Amino acid sequence: MHNDRGLVERRIQRELWERVLPLAHRDSRALSIEAGPDLDHLEPFAPRTKWGAPWATTWFRFTGEIPPDWAGRPVEAVIDLGFHPDAAGFQCEGLLVDLHDDGTFSPLQGIHPRRTNYALDADPGPVVLHLEAASNPTFAGYQPSRFGLVETAGERPLYQFRRASLVVVDLDARALAFDIEVLDGVMRALADDDPRRARLARTLAEALDRVPDVAAARRVLAPALAEDFGDAVRHRSVAVGHAHIDTAWLWPLRETVRKCIRSFASAAALMDDYPEYTFCASSAQHYTWIEEREPELFAAITERVERGQWIPVGGMWVEADMNLPSGESLVRQIVFGQRYFEERFGARCTEVWIPDVFGYPAGLPQVFAAGGMDRFVTQKLSWNKQNRFPHNTFWWEGLDGTRVLTHFPPVDTYNAEITPAEFAFSVTNFQDHGWSTDSLMPFGHGDGGGGPTREMVERARRLAHIDSRATLEIDTPAAMFERIERDADRGAAVPVWRGELYFEMHRGTLTSQLKTKLGNRRCERLLVEAELWAATLGRSADVDDLWKQTLTQQFHDILPGSSIAWVHQDAERILGEVDAEVEARITGLLAELAGPTTAVANRGDAAVDEIVTLDLDDADVDGPVQRLADGTTALRVSVPAMAVAPVEALAVDDRVVLSDTSMTNGHLAVRWDAHGNITSIIDLAGAREIVAEGAVAAALEIAVDHPVEYDAWDVESWTVDNGTALTGADGVSVDVVDAGPLVGRVRVERAFGPSTAVITYELRAGSRQLDVHVELDWHHDEHLLSMAFPLDVRADVAMCDVQFGVVARPTHPSSPWDAAKFEVCAHRFVDVAEPDFGVAILNNGRFGHGVFDGRVRVSLARAAQFPDPLADRGHHAVSLAVRPHGAGLADVRDAAGRFNHPLRVVRATDTPTTSRPPRPVVEVTSDPAGVEVDAVKLADDGSGDLIVRLHEACGSRSRVSVVAADRIAAAWRCNLLEEPESGEEVGDGIVAMTLRPFQIVTLRLRRSARADGRSLAP
């Protein structure tokens, strides 16, 4: 026999498509079509007609007749709305509905690019089908697109209707097509010189020789499909159905509701045909939409959850970004998620499921575990551009030492199709064969693709035992994790990865769409503040709905800024409404607390005793004050942590002295040149220059920002390397606007190209930091604007503030892993330090930082054109600060807290005050300092217990004392859902405990009715 294998392999593909597949649909007849904007306005519609303006909905009615000679044969409708063949989702979609007599309807099944069939359970006679179709535009090729807003999208129809027909299905012929497709795929996944490859080619050729005798062809293939590889231990690929539905992205939230309905209806329908098939879906928000909009579908889902086929996963409100939300927001993602799943489906989730999120900070393992999930699935790090992550299954160890069992599916996608090629790849790509035999394969088309298809499940059946190295079975993630946990219990050498899972892509999402990010940053802090003041008044803040709205906007394409303009308009509006509502509630609560005197409220967990600027008339305040050029008043106030105090201007024993080029107080001496560039900052106590020799601090830098792909997502290393400093004389004016003695301010206005920046340097009497306020009128296209601080500090790492702690990032690109971290996330500060001296750069509203080569660079603004062509153009304001300090981070953390929570003025009102003394509801002290209070609220169970969540933030072992305004009678440590896990000793009304470095503790305090005389205040 001659070697004609190459020719045979080409023959198989052509004959599968042209000779075998047509056998499956031998009889067909066209359906008549009507279309219109709603069911009352349908008109006759011809195939090949254009339909669907961008973002519009079109209704179709299909009518036809099943002829008598089709009786007893399986019949399907095939509907092709004009799908682009190359994409499984991201385009038009439809929903077949069951129309009820009263005009309402319920979903039957989605119609998607790769799911165009609908099985009819009908006898001969008339057939009527109704379909709601969404003409969502596509966004191709990273090009600026007018489709991102309904106002600019236009009216021109986007799709050309292709086909609507009834077909008779020859089930044996269809099975033959699956047989050939799977064996062909298995063959092609084998090495060229594998003897089995040659045998399979010959077998397939023999089967094709039998076509069109379907039964004979299948008999030829049967032995190859049933090949048995015995009992040898093989890898086990665990396939789980899935549909990754982005909560908003290249479509607005309102369309996601419909995407969920279509995909969930399809996923549920498929279960009836394939009892072995399982489907995972995350995001309590998505289920909530179904529950509200489609109760019948929700009931069908509930029933499938009960029988174990439908598996809620993730335990979170949405699949949130993990870099940008506050720690408390991440907690609430889990609290609201887990509560929902437990209330609706009787059980909490056991796996965190965030396959598509852009990096995972080191505080997460502890948060996941405290939320009841010590297993974690993600896939995104397979996209890393620089380094390949070395494991697929491992213990991920967080900042505090908590470990969660983590799995990266080796198929390197969360939208697998269970092809033989994917199956083979997932086996060869798996990096932990040495100790583990299990891996996950999430399959199903996401984002409008409708999830798993019949074809995928049919392939899974045929692939179950066909590979000599691995089996494939459809099961649940929990089943896989349980086996891995058993392996670990038996002593398997599970690798450990300690510290953050840094994502080597999408670094631009730390900066894109600033207004969405700052809206979130405000709302998540305001919500915590409202809970604090309500608890101080003995009440629940009743802000669950406002929390949920905020949490939805933390979704991993909204908060990162990678969505179309419409999504960000929605986000800014929703977060603006939450902001206004919570502000109003806080104003009311504080009015009750403060009463008839003008007061200041300090929501922070550190006491304030410093010069502040308040929006007050200086005539209203006794004592030393300074009226500032912007109309505010500077004065020294003292307010305990989490407390309200009357406004009193205290004596000040320091002063700011200014000249045309310098500004000094008792701690810092600052100089600038004629162009407003800071050339020197001297820390007077240490007699030490902070600014690197010959350099300029707080200089703006501008760089051309053209990512290779994914414009809003990515920043490239050459972009941050190639910035041009804006330090010249052109377009600059420098003015001293406030000349002390309490506050000195110097205003530098700088025009550059189409944009302008107003930078105000501010030094306050008694302050150890130089504040740098930046106002931008930003009109560049595709540029990155940064502010750089070259520092004369020698440090190998920079400590970056993240949720529930700090993480060290290399200050040098020495190894490939170091070099990849050229843009990193930090929340409120970045610190570089020698053992006894450091300099922190604080911020009140940015996340992207560079820390290489002796300087801290803060990314201020980008201007991507895809997917929102006008992203970020306009006005922005942010404040940064340079703060030298001694050993440790506690001072920096406190300062960063105050920088982000300026005191709030409470106007005198005639609101009746509470009879309670304006004492903090709770006081927390720690030794050493550095314990942070994340939330103070009444328990969600209505018991009246006080919940205090706190964590050690600086990496020390810390002794913590807690007292409350009402005497503490009993205390428990709880999980995130406020359920007691262990009792905490209370001695004389004081809870005293030791926190490990970065440990999070959720305390439940039961209080007696009487006020406690104790205070921890010095």
Query: Which listed range, 184-192, 356-364, 365-373, 460-468, lies at the site for Zn ion (CB under 5 A)?
Result: 356-364
Pick the binder of Zn ion from 9, 291, 356, 940 (CB under 5 A): 356
Query: What whole-number distance in Å separates Cα of residue 405 and Cα of residue 378?
Result: 11
Residue 550: burial class (beta carbons within 10 Å; 0-12, 13-18, 19+): buried
Query: Which listed range, 16-24, 353-361, 450-458, 532-540, lies at the site for Zn ion (CB under 5 A)?
Result: 353-361
Query: Which listed range, 242-250, 391-399, 495-503, 1006-1014, lies at the site for Zn ion (CB under 5 A)?
Result: 242-250
Shortest distance, CB of residue 256 to Zn ion, whole angstroms?
11
Of the candidates 896, 874, 136, the one whose C-alpha atom is nearest the C-alpha of residue 572 is 874
CA-CA-CA-CA torsion sign (588, 591, 592, 594): positive
Q: Which is nearer to Zn ion, 356 or 775 (CB)?
A: 356
Radius of gyration over every alpha carbon of the chain, rounded to an integer in angstroms: 32
Shortest distance, CB of residue 504 to Zn ion, whole angstroms?
18
> Strand pairing of 837-843 and 829-834?
antiparallel
Helix (H, G, I), strand (E, B) or coil at 49: coil
> Strand pairing of 351-353 and 375-377?
parallel
Q: Strand pairing partners for 840? A: 831, 883
Shortest distance, CB of residue 355 to Zn ion, whole angstroms?
8
Query: Which listed range, 48-56, 113-121, 244-252, 762-770, lies at the site for Zn ion (CB under 5 A)?
Result: 244-252
Q: Which is nearer to Zn ion, 246 or 432 (CB)?
A: 246
Query: What whole-number distance in Å separates Cα of residue 931 and Cα of residue 946?
Result: 18
Q: Which is nearer to Zn ion, 762 or 868 (CB)?
A: 868
**Sheet bearing 678-683, strands edge to edge:** 657-658, 662-664, 668-672, 678-683, 688-689
Q: Which is nearer to Zn ion, 276 or 356 (CB)?
A: 356
Q: Is residue 710 a contact residue for Zn ion (CB under 5 A)? A: no
Shortest distance, CB of residue 356 to Zn ion, whole angstroms?
3
**Sheet bearing 393-397, strands edge to edge:** 351-353, 375-377, 403-407, 393-397, 496-498
Query: Which listed range, 198-206, 245-253, 640-648, 981-989, lies at the site for Zn ion (CB under 5 A)?
Result: 245-253
Shortest distance, CB of residue 357 to Zn ion, whole angstroms?
8
Q: Which is nearer to Zn ion, 246 or 422 (CB)?
A: 246
Query: What whole-number distance in Å separates Cα of residue 257 and Cα of residue 246?
Result: 10
Q: How many C-beta atoms lie closer than 10 Å to residue 990's C-beta?
A: 18
Query: What whole-number distance in Å separates Cα of residue 290 and Cα of residue 438?
Result: 33
Pick the binder of Zn ion from 93, 170, 246, 570 (CB under 5 A): 246
Shortest distance, CB of residue 313 to Zn ion, whole angstroms?
14
**DSSP H helices in 226-358:** 253-273, 284-293, 295-306, 327-345
Shortest distance, CB of residue 501 to Zn ion, whole angstroms?
17
Buried b (16+ CB within 10 A) or exposed e, 652-683: beeebebeebebbbebbbbbbeebbbbbbbbb
Shortest distance, CB of residue 475 to Zn ion, whole angstroms?
24
Of the candidates 357, 446, 452, 444, the one whose C-alpha atom is nearest the C-alpha of residue 406 is 357
Confirm if 189 and 424 have CB atoms less than 8 A apart.
yes
Q: Which is nearer to Zn ion, 356 or 673 (CB)?
A: 356
Confirm if 286 and 604 have CB atoms less than 8 A apart.
no
Question: Which residue of the chain is nearest Zn ion when measured via CB?
Answer: 356
Q: Which is nearer to Zn ion, 246 or 417 (CB)?
A: 246
Q: Which of residues 307-336 bind Zn ion (CB under 5 A)?
A: none
Query: Which listed range, 10-18, 324-332, 352-360, 894-902, lies at the site for Zn ion (CB under 5 A)?
Result: 352-360
Q: Write the CA distances from 446 to 61, 114, 295, 449, 461, integer angstroms.
A: 26, 11, 23, 5, 22
Q: Which is nearer to Zn ion, 556 or 750 (CB)?
A: 556
Site residue total, Zn ion (CB under 5 A): 2
Q: Which is nearer to Zn ion, 383 or 718 (CB)?
A: 383
Give the DSSP letter of residue 1008.
E
Which residue among 356, 544, 654, 940 is the active-site one?
356
Shortest distance, CB of residue 340 to Zn ion, whole angstroms?
20
Query: What whole-number distance in Å separates Cα of residue 655 and Cα of residue 666?
Result: 7
How many CA atoms lie less than 13 Å away from 294 in the CB half-sphere?
Answer: 26
Q: Which of residues 902-931 bind Zn ion (CB under 5 A)?
A: none
Shortest distance, CB of residue 446 to Zn ion, whole angstroms?
7
356 is catalytic: yes
Query: Which listed range, 11-19, 339-347, 350-358, 481-489, lies at the site for Zn ion (CB under 5 A)?
Result: 350-358
Catalytic machinery residues: 356
| Binding interface with Zn ion (CB under 5 A) | 246, 356
